[in-house]
Amino acid sequence: MIFSLQGTVQELSPTYAVLNVQGVGYYVGISLMTSQKLIHNKESFLFIQQIIREDAHLLFGFHTRAEKEMFNLLISVTGVGAVSSLILLSTLNLEEIATAILSGNSALIQKAKGIGAKTAERIIVDLKDKVQKFKAEGEEISMSVDNKTKEDALSALEVLGIPKRMSEKIADRMIKQNADITTEELVKQILKNI
């Protein structure tokens, strides 16, 4: 069973990536959330879920272990396949999915294309006791994204000759004001505020 893959992103689309691992290209189905973390022709690491069917061996890749866990919970629900799970993971983030399940908000789950009322209700009933931890993990995930953005911005500024100490406090303040800030935007904001 393939647990993870590390290699160069040979092809990238919103729904799949081809990861070249020492000359072998692995076609991996991905969510939009994972697609946004990958960069074409760059080295990447993905957690893998392998699904073996009579007619196919399928690989699905995830940027975080938590996303892989949510995927596996979703496909454990009768009537929810791998493609539906990826669409749901592309439509809502992990915390939104967990919140929708815990609060019984089937309308939010139905926003994902291909998931109807009955399937949404089944997801809520089957997973209500299993998604509590994603509420807390959602916060940790966003923190790690913030830290990656911050580290990338500070590294870029160091290349420009600006000491890390000088720009770190400004970076923290900017991330607090806008959690979704991009690395480029953060660099611009820090340069404006030095």
Domain count across the chain = 3
Residue 140 domain flag: no
Q: Are residues 55 and 40 in the same domain?
A: yes
Residue 8 domain flag: yes
Give me the domain span that covers residue 22.
Answer: 4-62
Q: Are residues 127 and 73 in the same domain?
A: yes
Residue 77 domain flag: yes
Q: Are residues 57 and 69 in the same domain?
A: no
Tens digit of pLDDT at every position of the chain (194 positions): 899 999 999 999 999 999 999 999 999 999 998 999 999 999 999 999 999 989 999 999 999 999 999 999 999 999 999 999 999 999 998 988 998 999 899 999 998 888 999 999 999 999 988 888 776 544 444 444 456 788 888 887 777 777 777 788 888 888 777 877 888 888 888 888 87
pLDDT reported for residue 151: 80
pLDDT reported for residue 139: 45
Q: CATH number for the domain including 55?
A: 2.40.50.140
Alpha-carbon distance of 77 to 185, in angstroms, equals 40
Helix (H, G, I), strand (E, B), or coil: what is residue 163?
coil
Residue 42 domain flag: yes
Q: Are residues 69 and 58 in the same domain?
A: no
Q: Are residues 130 and 73 in the same domain?
A: yes
Q: Are residues 9 and 58 in the same domain?
A: yes
pLDDT reported for residue 146: 52
Query: What one-character-per-residue DSSP string does 61-92 give?
Result: EESSHHHHHHHHHHHTSTT--HHHHHHHHHHS
pLDDT reported for residue 135: 66
Q: What is the pTM of this model?
A: 0.67
Which residues in 108-134 are b (16+ Cβ under 10 Å) and which e? bbbebeebeeebbebbbebbeeebeeb
The answer to whether 5 and 28 are in contact (CB under 8 A) is yes
Q: Are residues 174 and 130 in the same domain?
A: no
Q: Are residues 81 and 123 in the same domain?
A: yes
